[in-house]
Structure 1
Amino acid sequence: MTVLVCADLDRTLIYSTAAFALDGPDETMPRLLCVEFYQGAPLSYMTEASARTLEALSTAAAFVPTTTRTPEQYRRVQLLEKPAEYAVTANGGHLLVNGVDDPEWAASVRTRVADGSAPLAEIREHLVRTGGDFVLKRRDASGLFAYTVVDRASLPSGWVDDLTGWCAERGWRTSLQGRKVYCLPACLTKAAAAAEVAHRTGASTTLAAGDSLLDIELLEAADLSIRPAHGELHDTGWTSPSTTVTTARGILAGQEIADWLLEHA
Structure 2
Amino acid sequence: MTSTGSCTVDRHFYAKENVVFMPNPLPAIASELFFTDLDSTMIFSHRHPHDADCVWVEELNGKQQSFMTRKSFRFFQMQNRFRIVPLTTRSFQQFSRLRCLTETMGWQDALICNGAVRLCGEQEDLQWRSDSENLAAPHLQQLLSLKRAAANLCGTDAIVSAEPFLFYVKAADRVAEVTDLLLPLADPKQIIIFHDARKVYCIPQTLSKGAAAMRYAKLFADQPFWAAGDGELDIPMLNAASVRFCSPEISSRIRSDGQTFVCHAPFSDTVCDLLDQMSPKEI
Q: Work out whether the TM-score is over 0.5.
A: yes
Q: CA deviation at 1:256?
A: 1.2
Q: How many angstroms apart in 2 are the aligned matches of 1:32 and 1:141?
A: 31
Equivalent residue in structure 1 for 2:48, among 8, 19, 24 = 19
- Map of 2:16 onto structure 1: none
Residue-by-residue CA offset, 1:40-77 (whole Å, 9 max, x unaligned): 211000111010111133x2111101101012211211
Structure 2-normalised TM-score? 0.77
Q: CA deviation at 1:197?
A: 2.5
Distance of aligned partners of 1:162 and 1:127 in 2 relative to their CA distance in 1, 3 Å threshold: closer
Matches within 5 A, 1:1-265: 2-20=31-49, 22=50, 29-57=51-79, 59-77=80-98, 78-80=100-102, 81-131=104-154, 137-141=158-162, 143-152=164-173, 154-156=174-176, 159-168=178-187, 171-202=190-221, 204-229=223-248, 233=250, 237-241=252-256, 242-246=259-263, 248-249=264-265, 252-261=266-275, 263-264=277-278
Q: How many angstroms apart in 2 are the aligned matches of 1:99 and 1:142?
A: 20
Higher relative contact order (CA 8 A, sep 6+): 1
Equivalent pair of 2:36/2:229 in contact (CA under 8 Å): yes
Q: CA deviation at 1:99?
A: 2.7
Q: How many angstroms apart in 2 are the aligned matches of 1:19 and 1:136?
A: 26
Q: How many angstroms apart in 2 are the aligned matches of 1:228 and 1:147?
A: 23
Q: How many angstroms apart in 2 are the aligned matches of 1:229 and 1:17?
A: 22
Q: CA deviation at 1:194?
A: 1.8
Of all paired residues, the percent bearing the same amino acid is: 25
CA RMSD of aligned residues (A): 2.5
Q: How many angstroms apart in 2 are the aligned matches of 1:201 and 1:262?
A: 25
Equivalent pair of 2:136/2:164 in contact (CA under 8 Å): no
| 3-state DSSP of counterpart to 2:59 | strand
Query: Unaligned stretches of 5+ in structure 2?
Result: 1-29
Equivalent pair of 1:86/1:197 in contact (CA under 8 Å): no
Counterpart of 1:163 in structure 2: which amino acid? L
Q: How many angstroms apart in 1 are the aligned matches of 2:187 and 2:273?
A: 37
| 3-state DSSP of counterpart to 2:41 | coil
Q: CA deviation at 1:199?
A: 2.4
| 3-state DSSP of counterpart to 2:235 | helix
Q: CA deviation at 1:209?
A: 0.8
Q: CA deviation at 1:178?
A: 2.5
Q: CA deviation at 1:207?
A: 0.6
| 3-state DSSP of counterpart to 2:203 | strand
Query: Unaligned stretches of 5+ in structure 1?
Result: 23-28
| 3-state DSSP of counterpart to 1:259 | helix
Counterpart of 1:93 in structure 2: which amino acid? A
